[in-house]
Amino acid sequence: MSNDKEDKMHASLTRKLRFKSGLDAKSIAWSSEHHWIACGGRGGSLTVHGLEADKDVSNIYGGGVSTNGNTEITNASVDLTKYATLQDKAHDKTTTVVAVEWNNQHKKLLTCDDSGLFIVWSQVNGVWLMEMINQQKSKQLCGVQWSPDGSRVCFAYTDGYLMVGSVGGDRLWAQEVGYTMCGMSWSPDSTELLIVAPTSRELHLLSSKDGQLLRKAAMVCSPPPVTPKSPTSAFTMLKSLFTSPKPKVPLAIVRWSHQPKDFSSDTNDQVARIAVCYVEAGSVQLMRNATDPTPRLVDTSLRIADLQWNPAGSVLAVLGSATQPQPTTTSTTAVVQFFSNVGQHLSTLTLPGSRCGGVAWEGNGERVVATVDACAYFANMVKGDALSDPPACAVDSD
């Protein structure tokens, strides 16, 4: 049994990065090995930032030149030393870059927007260039991830189309699973895929070799409530009698922590390794394994935008918005809540702004970054009680 002091921790806000480019961040990923942060957002925006911890940071953009010549260098005393906007017009200005995923083993970056376009980026002579580009038009992406071993990538779409490709760009297999999907994740050993099937409220475990169904488990957390729109005119009311628009699929987030093998022994059978939730819902389902018959539900009281395990799989960061009633109206605040892998609440970090994007961890688990509106907020994870008078947060611009 752990003592109270070991269970106490807090997040100390240390730095705020304001995007000069006006990037309204929607997605973020932190390369665990190369100290790069990628941010994607509305208007097709896509940027990469290099951190001081990288010894070769001065060379990652080919001597300070990005793919469109807009690199800016910040003061050497701050965290962010290099900034680059990846190739202009790569993602159309009418789209939102909804996913950014690093492949640490092969130093590649995968970006996807809500039009179905995905791009694989790699470095050539120190400059980020498009290596592969593809588009699945009229398909809504619900999950994309590199395998933990970096050899493959999986794309999941709400219409039931599932595709796995190699890191070199070859399609290994693709299939129609025959049901709606709304989220996916690789297993830590890259041998299985965990799929959320919202219609049957199940989790399906598939083989990553061929998509064969292996096992099923119950999805016990609830999707966000749907508020029906009332017709605004007699014409729209009449039209609704003869048309049946396709219901919007509630997207889900699935995070399977990549913990060491000895951490999954029978002595740790109460430890959760999988976190599942619906986007904009408030509860998180914690599971010990992919077929856990008694999952644990954690109520965050947030409209969840993203969640991520720290690299050790011991702390889950949940980013979302909290509604606070005011005398005449209601206000929305961005919040990051931290939970242990047994569902214990550890800390709450309140951030200014309301439009939540994504959350990511540093490779050693000592820092976390969250995007809200056009800013990225960095916080240190500190053991013990929070300070009554925390240090001021530094503010930088890219």
Ranges 45-59, 85-99, 287-301, 355-369: which has the least confidence: 45-59
| Selection from 8-17, 242-251, 337-346 with the highest mean pLDDT | 337-346
Interval 361-384: pLDDT, tens: 999 999 999 999 989 999 999 886
Q: In this structure, are residues 217 and 287 in contact, taking their beta carbons and an 8 Å threshold?
A: yes
Average pLDDT over residues 329-336: 84
Cβ-based neighbours of 237, under 8 Å, separated by 6 or more: 231
Ranges 72-76, 177-181, 252-256: which has the least confidence: 72-76
Would the pTM count as exceeding 0.85? no
Three-class SS state of 330: strand
Q: Give the C-alpha separation, 75 to 330, whole Å.
A: 39
Q: Give the C-alpha separation, 398 to 352, whole Å.
A: 19
Q: Give the C-alpha separation, 107 to 123, whole Å.
A: 8
Domains of the chain: 4-29+135-224+247-383 (2.130.10.10)
Distance from chain centroid for Cα 141 = 13
Q: Kindly indicate the confidence band of residue 249, based on its pLDDT and cuts at 50, 70 and 90.
A: confident
- Per the structure block, which two tokens stand in for 102? 């690093």
Q: Kindly indicate the confidence band of residue 93, based on its pLDDT and cuts at 50, 70 and 90.
A: confident
- For residue 323, the model assigns a pLDDT of 84
Q: Alpha helix (H) ranges present in the chain?
A: 4-7, 234-242
More confident residue, 394 or 161: 161
Task: Say how many residues make up the chain.
Answer: 398
Q: Kindly indicate the confidence band of residue 7, based on its pLDDT and cuts at 50, 70 and 90.
A: low
- For residue 254, the model assigns a pLDDT of 96
- For residue 292, the model assigns a pLDDT of 92
Interval 195-228: pLDDT, tens: 999 999 999 999 999 999 999 999 998 887 755 5
Q: In this structure, are residues 315 and 383 in contact, taking their beta carbons and an 8 Å threshold?
A: no
| Start-to-end C-alpha separation, the chain | 45
Three-class SS state of 263: helix
Provide the pairing of β-strand 108-113 with 117-124.
antiparallel
Burial class from Cβ neighbours inside 10 Å (0-12, 13-18, 19+) for residue 234 reads: exposed
More confident residue, 330 or 200: 200
- For residue 62, the model assigns a pLDDT of 27
- Per the structure block, which two tokens stand in for 337? 């809540």
Mean pLDDT across the chain, nearest whole number?
80
Whether residue 55 is predicted with pLDDT greater than 60 in this model: the reply is no
- For residue 112, the model assigns a pLDDT of 93
Ranges 46-60, 162-176, 271-285, 330-344: which has the least confidence: 46-60
| Nearest partner of 60 among 148, 121, 110, 140, judged by Cα | 121
Amino acid residing at 265: S
Q: Kindly indicate the confidence band of residue 327, based on its pLDDT and cuts at 50, 70 and 90.
A: low
∠ CA 181-185-187, rounded to 5°: 135
- For residue 124, the model assigns a pLDDT of 79
